[in-house]
Amino acid sequence: MEDEFPGQLRVIRRSFVLVPEDRADRIFRDYHRAHRQSATTQGEDAPRFQIPEAGDPYPRCSFPALEAAAWVRENQPDRFLAFDLAIFEAFFGRTEDISDPDVLEQVGAECGIGSDAMREALESHRYREHVLREDREARTLGIQGIPATLIPGRQPIVGAVPYVELKQAVEAAQRAAIVNPRSDRS
């Protein structure tokens, strides 16, 4: 979408903690399956999620993936988008356990990211507070799930919505900004 609105739109990716507890007993349930199935029926541009079997292992916690992403964003920003998308594909496309440091290391390797420094950051939880701060900011803005899109003057758009709907929301916000320009002199 940034390519479609050059210089007019800025995408900022931030952490949002979905699974705060580290629990080894987490499994995919019919609830998770239904959300994935629904997301795949949102049109031709909808993501293609793998639909796991009920009872398959579910990531124990979202902190490892979020901390790894925060490390990549800070230390290898040129690889962040690829890593972010690769994490998404690992979890939704292949149902891999993105709470497993070995999985994160493999995803990083696929993106050309060296693993030793990222592994050390995961083991030390160096980015935990950073992730928690971004999560608190998101919740303060009214975000309660992912993916979430914030467009000035609108409620957060939460969930896997078709691209055309996001584009229409951006265009509506642009029209509103032209009709009611905000004054920065107040």
pTM: 0.77
130 domain residue, yes or no: yes
Number of domains making up the chain: 1
- The answer to whether residue 121 sits within a structural domain is yes
pLDDT beneath 50: ranges in the chain: 183-186
120 within some domain: yes
Q: What is the pLDDT of residues 83-136, one digit of tens each?
A: 999 998 888 788 888 989 999 999 999 999 987 999 999 999 999 999 999 999
Q: Is the dihedral of CA 17, 23, 26, 31 positive or negative?
A: negative
Task: Give the single-character DSSP code of 149.
Answer: E
Q: In this structure, is residue 80 part of a structural domain?
A: yes
139 belongs to a structural domain: yes
Task: Supply the range of the domain harboring residue 131.
Answer: 30-144
Asked whether residue 134 is assigned to any structural domain, the reply reads yes
Q: How many angstroms separate the Cα of 134 from the Cα of each of 44, 75, 138? A: 32, 17, 6
| Domain membership flag for residue 60 | yes
The answer to whether 17 and 134 have CB atoms below 8 angstroms apart is: no
pLDDT of residue 50: 67
Please check whether residue 86 lies inside any domain of the structure: yes
Residue 103 belongs to domain with CATH number: 1.10.472.60
